[in-house]
Amino acid sequence: MEERKDIEKLDDVKVLVDTFYGKVRQDELIGGIFNDIIQDRWPEHLEKMYKFWQTVLLEEHTYSGRPFVPHLKMPIEKEHFDRWLELFFATVDELYLGQKADLAKWQGNRMAEMFLLKIEYFRKNSQQTPLL
Ligand code: HEM
Ligand code: HEM
């Protein structure tokens, strides 16, 4: 009785993003960080994240930007990325099954690892460098 299908179209991406940030906003560890920064701009943030994941998963290039830069000054450590990943993986797995679902988890994990490495690098080398 397997009901889950794969991520196939933009509507699937929207359901993934809406469900994920629904969990994020209520999370006791990371919810406050998001809500403090985003405040009343959640509709815009969700629109941007639909485009980000549409670009990554469906190869429909609607997002352009610099995903890392806004995270540089956030109060985030390994434990926050671990929670982000836990919620993201749980959301993907509860909704979808297949190659794109696997790709979403793979790319989310890569991005979280890269963000954390870069944040730690910038903290150690307090001045700005071309790694941005
Ligand atoms: C070593 C790993 C990575 C490096 C060094 C890197 C670097 C960058 C840089 C510098 C940009 C901005 C480009 C610009 O300024 O025009 C960018 C954009 C982007 N990155 Fe990455 N990235 C990495 C991994 C990832 C991963 C894992 C994902 C997917 C989850 C990803 C998705 C994107 C997307 C969607 C854009 C926007 C593309 C565009 O504007 O056309 N990147 N990346
Ligand atoms: C605990 C970890 C994280 C926190 C607290 C966090 C928080 C945020 C917040 C608050 C924003 C909105 C910034 C603003 O508009 O003022 C944002 C933007 C964004 N986040 Fe994260 N994030 C985290 C991890 C990730 C990961 C792992 C990814 C990628 C898979 C990601 C992808 C993005 C992208 C693409 C944007 C939009 C950047 C732009 O303006 O173009 N974030 N994040």
Q: Flag whether 5 is in a domain.
A: no
Q: Tell me, yes or no, whether 46 lies in a domain.
A: yes
Residue carrying the six token digits 């906003």: 25
Backbone φ, ψ for residue 3 (5° rounding): -95, -20
| Residue 3 included in any domain | no
The answer to whether the CB of 112 is under 6 A from ligand 1 is no
How many domains, in total, are found in the chain? Answer: 1
pLDDT at 41: 98
CA 3 – ligand 1 centroid, Å: 33
88 lies in some domain: yes
Is 108 part of a structural domain of the chain? yes
Q: pLDDT tens, position by position, for the chain (132 residues)?
A: 578 999 999 999 999 999 999 999 999 999 999 999 999 999 999 999 999 999 999 999 999 999 999 999 999 999 999 999 999 999 999 999 999 999 999 999 999 999 999 999 998 887 655 665
Ligand 1 site-directed mutation target among 17, 51, 52, 56, most atoms within 8 Å of CB: 56
DSSP letter string, 41-87: -HHHHHHHHHHHHHHHHH------S-SSGGGTTS---HHHHHHHHHH
What pLDDT score does 126 carry? 72
d(CA 119, ligand 1 centre) in Å: 15
Rounded Cα distance between 111 and 94, Å, is 21
Asked whether 59 lines ligand 1 (CB < 6 A), one says: no
Q: For residue 87, what is the domain's CATH number? A: 1.10.490.10
| Top mutation candidate among 54, 64, 69 for ligand 1, by most atoms within 8 Å of CB | 64
User: Does residue 129 fall inside a structural domain?
Assistant: no
Closest to 119 (Cα-Cα) out of 33, 48, 38, 61: 33
Q: What is the span of the domain harbouring residue 113?
A: 10-124
In a domain, 131, yes or no: no
- The answer to the question of residue 130 being in a domain is no
Residue 49: nearest ligand to its CA?
2
